[in-house]
Amino acid sequence: MSRDSIRYIAAIGLLIVAVIAAGLFVWLPEMRQSSSAAPRTFVTDIDNWRQTDQQRLVQSQYDFTLGPNLEEFPLQLGQWEGADIPQSNLEVFILLEPEEYIYRRYKDQDGHILWLSMIGSRKSKSFHPPQICYSADGWRTQVSSSALGLEAGEVYALQLDADREGQRHLVLYFYLWSDATRDTADGLVLFKMTLPIVGETDSLDEAFALAEDFARQIFVSGEKL
């Protein structure tokens, strides 16, 4: 084999090694980050003023503490693809004064729509039951509580069945604290899912199943404290 051939083979070998090294440089940090990301725990309940029997300790791979974490909440969740929607109702910011406010529309592969609202604040004035707004806007409402089944256990949500002039919404919401002290000054998040019920084939049960699927993309488990 000639000297030029040996040099050519050696150059190709060095190029291959460089490509592999560059790939490892990008891939290894991501692998370490994903492997070290342990589920975070939060306390949920359907009432932010008093502890109820529906209080649960939940695990999630996502961070609901106040700060940039809510803004980094993913747009892609399983089959659900989301988009941020600008909030045109300025009264939300004037009256509630939220520290964080997320308003998104998610769609699944079949075109079902789920609206996600997250309000984060350290002030009690930022939170009130959503049925107050529905009732003030002329909707008839029925309120109950429901368990959203997770991979292990469940998370309870206050369920609002609202209808007005042929429109119908299923609303499911609960509150999230960082620990069992439930101190609003440490940060509190209202997690609310709204599903329009439209068409002859849609029903309250189908809307609930969609909300349950969405919740399972976010929360791994829920157990009673």
Amino acid identity, residue 102? I
Residues 212 and 112 sit within 8 Å (Cβ to Cβ): no
In this model, does residue 217 exceed pLDDT 50? yes
More confident residue, 99 or 35: 99
Q: How many CA atoms lie within 13 A of 140 on its CB side?
A: 6
pLDDT in tens, 58-113: 999 999 998 777 888 999 999 999 999 887 665 665 667 788 889 999 999 999 99
Residues 117 and 192 sit within 8 Å (Cβ to Cβ): yes
Q: Is residue 10 helix, strand or coil?
A: helix
pLDDT in tens, 119-151: 889 988 888 888 888 888 889 999 999 999 999
Which token pair is 121?
A: 């604040």
Write down the pLDDT at residue 92: 64
Residues 171 and 191 sit within 8 Å (Cβ to Cβ): no
In this model, does residue 23 exceed pLDDT 60? no
Write down the pLDDT at residue 37: 61
Global pTM value:
0.80
| Number of other CB atoms surrounding residue 72 within 10 Å | 9
pLDDT in tens, 160-182: 999 999 899 999 999 999 999 99
